[in-house]
Amino acid sequence: MIIMALNCGSSSVKYQLFDWDKKEVIAKGMVERVIIGDSFIMHEVPGREVYHLKQDCPNHQAAIDLLIRIVTDPDHGVLDNVSEISAVGHRVVHGGEKFTCSVLIDEHVLDAVKEVQHLAPLHNPPNIEGIEAARTLMPAIPHVAIFDTAFHQTMPEQAYIYALPYEWYEKYQVRRYGFHGTSHLYVSKRAAVLLGKKPAECNIITMHIGNGVSHCAIRNGISIDTTMGLTPLEGAVMGTRCGDIDPAIPAFMMQKENLSAKEIDSILNKKSGVIGITGRFTDRRDVIEHANAGDRRCRLSLDIEAYRLKKYIGAYMAVTGKLDAVVFTAGVGEMGALIREKAIEGLGHIGIVLDVERNRSAMTRKRETLITADDSPVKVFVIPTDEELVFTEDVVAILNGTYTDHMNFEYSFSRSDFVRK
């Protein structure tokens, strides 16, 4: 059984093919610069050199058509025919309140996703375009929607309702939703395994840190709070997003600089965060390099980001109860030893005792690592995330009729005998 995972962004299509019987990835890649011109595909097969091909893709259907052609190519592909694909799992960023778990896509589901696209205008439209294109090109197989927001639908009202006019929630669904749900799901269940406990017995703080950043407070195995809100703009300092700020600032700057709502939204989402502070970088490797070379604003950016991380650890410890573990994941979380160190140094008084050497040696995206001292009451792990595996397992379980939700469904990676290939 071959499962395709698709993640359609505004100008990209990321894909992965997973052989369920062999439990291994057989190909993955990305079509970039979709719509905007100079499109190309980067196709990876284990044991082979990465294959690059330039081809214009004016829309998502052209991009998906290209990747299908490449994965079935006699020289560069891994399949003889597209009919070998059993099903497709689609990442959908925003499911609103309608979806609490992954679902088989039909016209009713697609209409429901379209109804909430105003809540994620940068993300849901390309997700929808990808679904429609893939269903057109592969009409004979099932398609499944996997929602970023689903994992967080267990949050209590006091965590997701904003202190705003309540009718905004009733009329426009303005509330906290949260994102990166599949990543928080995966690493929290892996952390439970490392702790030797069942997920429902664990209190964990998961910290997904990449260009986008979100944290999740998990009590008894379920999400009770998360940093991103109605949109992915709220919360931690990110590569280009500001995170938490005084909500009066946008109106203040709109008046000072004569900015439109669209312009201020673009600044907060694309010109703030790390790039806003440093003035030139989003990649934390660049920030660290120039901070070490004496760049004051790069040092400041690192201090601000780490300080915000530290604050959220403390805040979420207050609501989870007795904490078992903190987990760092995603690109910066997995590779950014300095940022991890700055975020958790000095937390011995709340039970987190860093082992500096363990932390500095945890610079790989292939290994699950403990970075606290053996006697630290709260453990801190670095766990590489695997959102595509969540996609795949949800799809297979839906096809087999065994899927329920993440609280009751047993994933392969939540078992102690799981081995990541």
Rounded (10°) angle between helices 284-292 and 296-320: 120
Q: How far apart are CA 240 and CA 414, in angstroms?
A: 33
| Element containing residue 66 per DSSP (H, E) | helix 60-71
Cβ-contact 31, 43 below 8 angstroms: no
State the sign of the Cα–Cα–Cα–Cα dihedral 112, 406, 185, 22. negative
Of the candidates 38, 56, 73, 148, the residue annotated as catalytic is 148
Where in 196-300 does DSSP place strands (E)? 203-209, 213-219, 222-226
The radius of gyration computed from the CA coordinates of the chain, to the nearest angstrom, equals: 21
Q: Order of strands, edge to edge, in the sheet holding 40-44?
A: 51-54, 40-44, 24-32, 12-19, 2-8, 85-92, 143-147, 103-104
Active site residue 111: no
Which phi and psi angles does 92 have, rounded to 5°? -125, 120
Q: What residues contact 48, with CB distance under 8 A and at least 6 apart?
A: none
Residues labelled as active-site residues: 148
